[in-house]
Amino acid sequence: MLSSGSQNILEVKDFEVSVTTKRGIGRAVDGISFTLKAGETLGLVGESGSGKTLTSLAILGLQPQPAAQITGGQVLFRGDDLLKKTPSELRHYRGRRIGMVLQDPMTALNPVFSIGRQLYEPLQLHRHLSGRALREQAIELLRLLQISSPEIRLKSYPHQLSGGIRQRVVGAIALSCSPEILIADEPTTSLDVTVQAHYLALLNAIQKRTGTAILFITHDFGVVARMCDRVAVMYAGRIVETAPARQIFEQPAHPYTVALLKSVPDLTKPVDHLPSIQGSPPSIYNRPQGCSFAPRCSHVMTKCRETYPPETRLSKSHVASCWRCE
Amino acid sequence: MNPSHQQPLLSVQNVTKHYPVTSTLPWSPPKAFVRAVDGLSFEVLPRKTFSIVGESGCGKTTTAKLVLRLENPTSGRVLFQGRDIADLDRQQEAHYRRSVQAVFQNPFSSLKPRMRVIDLVAEPRVIRGTIGRDELRREVEHQLDAVGLDPAIINSFPHELSGGMRQRVAIARALILEPLMIVLDEPVSALDVSVRAQIMNLFKAIQDRSGISYLLIAHDLATTRYLSHQVLVMYLGQMVETAESNELFSTPLHPYTHALIAASAPSRRWENPEEYILESDLPSPIAPPSGCRFHTRCPRAFERCPSKVPELREISPGHHVACHL
């Protein structure tokens, strides 16, 4: 990577996505802002329904339409607002400059086409390769993802491969055009722990070599610790805390982050009782006034139920939205 | 196997389950067998949690099915309260079915979407025998209360409930017959992180209160450690190590157990970049590797491993391991 490490490659500002269903209009992504620097891994952490997946999809205009609509904000990719692009312009970004790995490799791959054909597609479309060069590039990509006997795998179909290999194939497709950003949405959730560890190590190694920035979406703090440089914690459509990964683990500031970290049992020592967060996250159609975490928070104050807390800067790179941090 | 010499509630003795791999023509003999479970023995004690961990495809769910008698073993026996469950008369079988309940991974698919909570929870009770309407309703309300649900949701449908609430309904449904043992097949892996702890604490509270036993099937080791007393590690249908939970996690002996723990321990990027990572692919259970089945992925394999099957040895009281090292 030639550019300096601190350059912002992706800047998301006051991003809003609303979902309209029979139950009403819900703001699933409620004004979030974050930046992704070249070569770094940012973890977007949250529970299901927190809006993290919708954020990742909507960045590339892939949100399920017409139910979900982007209602505000900016997504600046190297200074260009992606939200102002026409669909055909966006297509030059998808796959080419921003690659994507989705959660379930079985649904991400088309079951009726061979691995080769699915791997050729982005290479033909974006890099205009053909013939021998195409095949060689595809084989090299499979090698990059440590897939054994790549020549044979090109002819295989998704059902003939194990989950771990399938997810690596999806990774190969996502990385095929050397994207500047890789969006990985829970890529290891459906994999076994051992396979997961292998995949994450591989992703780390590839990132070191290529300098791709990764937006890593997950609910698992174990994965965060392995992968991320910085972390943004999402709750009910908003980012409640952003900090370097190490600080999130060592000095979490937001009560939600603290509680979430505490509710994961420790493997290394016996635990008698696990503190749990009472209740469940609010529905997007019916968010409480004030801080969305207030009804479940053990440090709640009257102010919390009235107004949403502003962002407080705790250190140069550590930001949290909580009245207690004021 | 049984340090306290308590009478085991469930005893699995040298159980094997092979599934035939059918060839293209349905009438021709099977080409091979998938050795899903191969010579497995363990005991579940009253009031204790026994866990089986391993990667997918190691045979842990098949084991659960054998215990629930959803499958019959190819060989070996499963004894419940000393009786072989393959060999029960009608009445004994009814007793067995009542005493052993199950909670599955995904409460989105394990609850019938068109039944209301009251019917879902009451169903096992209605099957057991006649009961008055009011009494039934009281019992359901009692169970909902016991699993921490507001009895007001009694007329809701599953889709109106969150994942955690659904799993609580599934637990209430398992509890209504006051079973002696519940088979928990990945009971929290489909739930959100913040809800997982609630459900795990609920399992513990129920056990403290009613002295029930659990057979927990899981792949998440942290969950396992938190909930269990005894742990069995399975690899490709065979047991590689079994011990009391704290001992297994503090002094794992088998290289596979080591690797599993390393893979799920919260390794932190800024602390130790050096860690041992297993080759990711599990060999096929149709033609498992010779000798020790783990030798193809084992970092410490030596000459003896591919040729000789390691015997299960007792290293310290209650701690058994199958490894040449």
Position A172 in a domain: yes
d(CA A64, CA A46): 20
Q: How many angstroms away from the CA of A131 is the closest CA of chain B?
A: 31
Q: Report how far Cα A137 is from the mean position of its chain's Cα atoms.
A: 27
List, as ranges, residues 125-154 from A with C-beta within 8 Å of B.
none
Could you report the per-residue pLDDT of A226-245, keeping only the tens digit for each?
A: 899 999 999 999 999 999 99
**Cα(first)–Cα(last) distance of chain B, in Å?**
21
E strands along chain A, which residues? 8-21, 24-37, 41-45, 68-77, 80-81, 98-101, 181-185, 213-218, 230-235, 238-244, 311-315, 318-321
Between chains, do A194 and B220 touch, taking CB under 8 Å as contact? no
Split at pLDDT 50, 70, 90, the class of A103 is confident
Nearest CB to B197: which of A219, A267, A276?
Answer: A276
d(CA B74, CA B86): 11
Could you report the per-residue pLDDT of A44-96, keeping only the tens digit for each?
A: 998 888 889 899 999 999 998 888 999 999 999 999 999 999 999 999 899 89
Tally the domains of chain A: 1
Interface test with B, best of A21, A192, A204 (most B CBs within 10 A): A192
Between chains, do A199 and B280 touch, taking CB under 8 Å as contact? yes
Domain boundaries, chain B: 10-267+274-322
Q: How many angstroms away from the CA of B313 is the closest CA of chain A?
A: 25
d(CA A47, CA A62): 21
Nearest CB to B197: which of A192, A197, A274?
Answer: A274
Tokens representing residue A85 in the block: 């692009």
Specify the pLDDT at position A275.
85
Residue A97 has pLDDT above 70, yes or no: yes
d(CA A304, CA A310): 11
Specify the pLDDT at position A318.
94
pLDDT in tens, chain B (325 residues): 444 567 899 999 999 999 887 766 767 777 788 888 988 999 999 999 999 998 887 888 899 999 999 989 999 999 999 999 988 899 999 999 999 999 988 888 889 999 999 999 999 999 888 888 899 999 999 999 999 888 888 999 998 888 888 999 999 999 999 999 999 998 988 888 778 888 999 999 999 999 999 999 988 888 899 999 999 999 988 999 999 999 999 899 999 998 888 887 766 666 655 556 676 567 777 788 888 888 888 888 888 888 888 888 898 888 999 988 7
Residue A222 has pLDDT above 90, yes or no: no
Nearest CA in chain B to A275: B197
**Residue listed under structure tokens 């990985």:** A184
B280 vs A contacts (CB less than 8 Å) = 164, 194-195, 198-199
Residue bearing the bigger pLDDT, B30 or A223: A223
Do strands A181-185 and B213-218 pair parallel, antiparallel, or not at all (unpaired)? unpaired
d(CA B311, CA A235): 50
Half-sphere exposure in the Cβ direction for A283 (13 Å, CA): 10
Residue bearing the bigger pLDDT, A27 or A265: A27
Residue A2 has pLDDT above 70, yes or no: no
Whole-model pTM?
A: 0.84
Q: Report how far Cα B127 is from the mean position of its chain's Cα atoms.
A: 25
Could you report the per-residue pLDDT of A262-295, keeping only the tens digit for each?
A: 888 877 777 778 888 887 788 888 888 899 999 9
Specify the pLDDT at position B276.
60
A222 vs B contacts (CB less than 8 Å) = 264-267
Nearest CB to A264: which of B162, B193, B245?
Answer: B193
Nearest CB to B268: which of A225, A273, A277?
Answer: A225
Nearest CA in chain A to B201: A274
Domain region containing A148:
112-176
B165 vs A contacts (CB less than 8 Å) = 280
Residue A1 has pLDDT above 60, yes or no: no
Split at pLDDT 50, 70, 90, the class of A22 is confident
B193 vs A contacts (CB less than 8 Å) = 47, 219-221, 260, 263-264
Phi, psi of A28 (to 5 degrees): -70, -35
- ipTM value of the model? 0.77
- Whether A265 and chain B come into contact, CB under 8 Å, resolves to yes
How high does pLDDT run on average in chain A?
89
**Residue listed under structure tokens 């390691």:** B310
Between chains, do A265 and B225 touch, taking CB under 8 Å as contact? yes
For the domain covering B10-267+274-322, report its CATH number: 3.40.50.300
- Whether A277 and chain B come into contact, CB under 8 Å, resolves to yes
Q: Which one-letter amino acid corresponds to residue A165?
A: I
Q: How many angstroms away from the CA of A98 is the closest CA of chain B?
A: 25
Contact B296, B241 (CB under 8 A): no
- Whether B153 and chain A come into contact, CB under 8 Å, resolves to no
d(CA A198, CA A143): 15
- Whether A247 and chain B come into contact, CB under 8 Å, resolves to no
Q: How many angstroms away from the CA of B82 is the closest CA of chain A?
A: 32
Between chains, do B277 and A198 touch, taking CB under 8 Å as contact? yes
Half-sphere exposure in the Cβ direction for A237 (13 Å, CA): 22
Position A280 in a domain: no
Interface test with B, best of A193, A256, A293 (most B CBs within 10 A): A193
